[in-house]
Amino acid sequence: MTSTILHVPLQENNRAMPITWSSNKEIKMKKITKIIFSFAASLMLVTGCSKVTSEKQSATFRTIVDHNGREVKLPAQINRIVIGSILPLPSVYCMYMGSTEKLVGMHPSSMAAAKNSYLATVYPEVTQIDSSFVQNGTINVEELLKLKPDVVFYSATNDDERQIYENAGIPAVGFSTILSNYNSVETYADWINLLGQIFGDTGRAEKIIEEGRNVQNKILARVNNLDDTQKPRVLILFNYDDANMTAAGSNFFSEYWIGTAGGINVASEFKGQGKINMEQVYQWNPDIIFITNFSPRLAEDLLENKIEGADWSLVKAVKEGKVYKFPLGMYRWFPPASDTPLVLQWLATKIQPKLFSDIDMDKEITEYYKKYYGVDLSKKDLETIYHPVRAASGK
């Protein structure tokens, strides 16, 4: 390129001054302008793409806060669910959702309860759900991944389990048993509220939460007037088999159940569960004994003194025939579950029979199951609920 010289008649010392106009500069300015417009257009395009990507990601994922206070990023569309160490939750999930839909895996202990409970009658397909991802009490990651879960639910206090799921790249939501200080009615409400965060309100469970609170208030209104001399001393055998005998202590659902129903927990010195022997039982000499469905022992084992190496005939509760196995409805009647209001009433009739003589448990259970599960229980069904089999313990 060459420059063009123009002579303009400007005067300086009476001489014309040449001014040089560069066509190179003109071209450069055009290029710069073009670049600026091009950059602006690109910026608008990038911004637009970012917005679209952000909206797309927002539509693909969402974030909830679990009972550990952890933010968990979940797929917007959840189609495959596995429930791990939070053992009562499958029954609550089925009640909340009205079906077993999307539930592809559950813990073997939950399955043992399901197969021997009324849950399998209402939702027979529950017995076909896979439980092979837990082997000998341990998560088998390879088997878990075969289930292709979108999310796993687990007990919020089980950090080791959470780490397994996170290492496997699976979103994990912690459900707590301690958020409401082992108040079974409120713990159940906590679980329902978290399921509501995850799946939205199904309109099926809030009535049960309200019923649980009403039942609790009704029971407390009567037992609050009792002094300790009017309260029987109660032992809950949480796990009793050939190898171990453990009592359910404080910082556990046992403390809530016994205290709310008008009794005194003889094992309150233990936090959670405490390993005991017959000498300890003789020392406590409880008025009433309950056996949970986490234990294969039945009430008749103690009442008929059938257990080798243990003489239960010396214990007051056995002498007076006050040994009871927790019923098994939609799940084991010890931890919170969808039958929680019934559990509290049943315990009250056993711990304070005179105070709650007006409660007809056959009627309460029948009406409850009709109202919330849409089923008509027969006398045989009631007997099955009241007298669960050993296999329900999963041992």
- Rounded distance, CA 241 to CA 245, Å? 6
Q: Which H/E stretch holds residue 325?
A: strand 323-325
Phi, psi of 196 (to 5 degrees): -65, -40
Q: pLDDT tens, 340-356?
A: 999 999 999 999 999 99
* Average pLDDT of the segment spanning 104-126: 94
What is the distance between the terminal CA atoms of the chain, rounded to a whole angstrom? 95
Location of structure tokens 């409850």: 368
> In this predicted structure, what is the pLDDT of residue 52?
37
Query: Is 41:109 a contact under the CB 8 Å cutoff?
Result: no
* Average pLDDT of the segment spanning 181-189: 95
Is residue 331 classed as helix, strand or coil in its secondary structure? coil
- Rounded distance, CA 374 to CA 226, Å? 37
Q: pLDDT tens, 117-162?
A: 999 999 999 999 999 999 988 999 999 999 999 999 999 999 999 9
Q: Which residues contact 356 (CB under 8 A, 6 or more apart)?
A: 219, 222, 345, 348, 349
Query: Is 83:107 a contact under the CB 8 Å cutoff?
Result: yes
- Rounded distance, CA 155 to CA 89, Å? 10
- Rounded distance, CA 296 to CA 113, Å? 12
> In this predicted structure, what is the pLDDT of residue 7?
37
How sure is the predictor about 2, in pLDDT bands with cuts at 50, 70 and 90? very low
Count the residues in the chain. Answer: 395
The pTM assigned to this predicted structure is 0.82
Q: Which residues contact 152 (CB under 8 A, 6 or more apart)?
A: 81, 82, 83, 84, 144, 165, 170, 171, 172, 173
Quick one: tokens of 390? 């050993």
> In this predicted structure, what is the pLDDT of residue 203?
80
How sure is the predictor about 24, in pLDDT bands with cuts at 50, 70 and 90? very low
Top-confidence residue, 49 or 173: 173
